[in-house]
Structure 1
């Protein structure tokens, strides 16, 4: 029986699925066949009921028995390094502690995405799946503390999941920095070969064996029609059904939601400004903790790349009347 040598621990909606797939292609690495076992999120069985829409089904996916968790790595060829990817470990301090108690020498990989872009992607994912009842990301974030108090699972914590300064501060009280590799989501997307060649030596394997990251699926954005509301309500009820029946029902309803849905819609400038207030102080903390500059996350964007909320045309002029330029925009 064996335990992992390394973990991809966060953050959700920051490319962990694509990275897991890329790492599995390296001949000296073995990734768990269950991409997100969630083993360290509990000390035992997860809750059987309650929480947010879809949480009951998520809890059924937890690999919580140690023998089942170790069995995920039984197929690893001799001499390979074993890993798994559960992006909620970074967020959950108790999960960090459990990792330290069981595998204190594990190497940990952290991917950081612009927290506003990450929150929007997270919300879009659940809205598209029919599991988010609020059709506006700003209003959904405003409900977060009420949802947490009601026991909704971490995937609903759109704001808190993106407060990386707090999360890394806690992580570094348990693990030395040389066991933690932190890099940006944009590095993975824009410079995949160079980023992988940072990761492989960190894991103690040869660079150059994998040069590409698999493309990620882009979530569709269903319109908030009456049909969408009714199908979503049925899906949320179906997710609470027992056993395999829940999966069959929800898969069918989710496919119906995706039919004829438009592509993911960009944040507006007003939405980005409203969400920025949740993260400004933590971004400063993140800079202190890492020694890196994340100022591009708080500076105005001249263009959005279609996803993250650009400054309106009328506000793009500097005081001298000439257009401003921002090399970090995008």
Structure 2
């Protein structure tokens, strides 16, 4: 037990003062996030991370996908602080614009329910932004991410295997273990949004959560960004650079495969529409 504690302390020291160096040393003089972009993955959150930083009153974290409330939670709040702007940056920006906010963009948060409780405990008044994308397109994008890491199956083979796997699930209790194993390892289940959102609405009030569509973010970027700024109680601002970030080139999906996926996701999307009392244009 003592050796384990020693090892944990050393890891914290190494990640804070060796890896983060100056930023780690100055962590007590740094702020913590005011809001979170919690997901979903493959929806344009990396682009959103950069769009947000263009607002005069916003200052980004060191990078996106910090993962503090998940894989890096053991590193502690000092490490987390080292990733954010200093109090002097906050003072300078607030002096100039009357507002200041910083943020954490980690798209894996939304599909991990235990994180909702962690954020609620530490940041009960924070606001949350969730980007949702047509599950068909999100799955295709996720497949191409797999390709970068050695996936050799065709998309059709990949989808068939995934659908066969999900069809065998017999899970009544959608607990942390379900999300950590089943959902985490399934490209399809990562787009079962109606399963992922309830815990966030249980922990946070509706006026703390903004849900936008990836499609609107991509096609009506400046309008969508101003919806976000309004939600954050910030002045309107037309983001000058709306170039998309982290976009991979891919061929058009086979129409028959698309029809299969549209049919597969239809009941899951209907559950989402009922939950949100809002419908997205995802039927094509």
Fold similarity call, TM over 0.5: yes
Q: Summarize the alignment of residues 60-75 of structure 1 with structure 2, pairs less than 5 Å apart.
A: 64-75=75-86
More off after superposition, 13-22 vs 64-73: 64-73
Structure 1 match to 2:90 = 77
Where does structure 1 differ by over 6 angstroms across 4 or more consecutive aligned residues? 151-155
Residue ranges of structure 2 left out of the alignment (5+ in a row): 1-27, 95-99, 169-176
Separation in 1, partners of 2:279, 2:188: 21
**C-alpha displacement at 1:168, in angstroms?**
1.8
Separation in 2, partners of 1:140, 1:18: 31
Q: Is 1:297 equivalent to 2:261 in the alignment? A: no
Structure 1 match to 2:218 = 189
Pairs aligned (count): 235
The one of 115, 126, 138 equivalent to 1:106 is 126
Structure 2 match to 1:139 = 160
Q: Is 1:5 equivalent to 2:34 in the alignment? A: yes
**C-alpha displacement at 1:267, in angstroms?**
1.6
Contact 1:32–1:72, Cα closer than 8 Å, also in 2: yes
**C-alpha displacement at 1:155, in angstroms?**
6.4
More off after superposition, 99-108 vs 271-280: 271-280
The alignment's C-alpha RMSD in Å is 2.6
Which secondary structure does the structure 1 equivalent of 2:128 belong to? strand
Which secondary structure does the structure 2 equivalent of 1:87 belong to? coil
The one of 149, 159, 172 equivalent to 1:130 is 149
Structure 1 match to 2:242 = 213
Residue ranges of structure 1 left out of the alignment (5+ in a row): 46-63, 221-263, 302-330
Structure 1 match to 2:109 = 89
Compared CA separation, residues 44 and 18, structure 1 to 2 (3 A): closer
Separation in 1, partners of 2:206, 2:234: 19
Which secondary structure does the structure 2 equivalent of 1:297 belong to? coil
Compared CA separation, residues 83 and 218, structure 1 to 2 (3 A): closer
Separation in 1, partners of 2:61, 2:259: 39
Q: Is 1:275 equivalent to 2:261 in the alignment? A: yes
Contact 1:100–1:175, Cα closer than 8 Å, also in 2: yes
Separation in 2, partners of 1:155, 1:117: 18
Q: Is 1:35 equivalent to 2:46 in the alignment? A: no
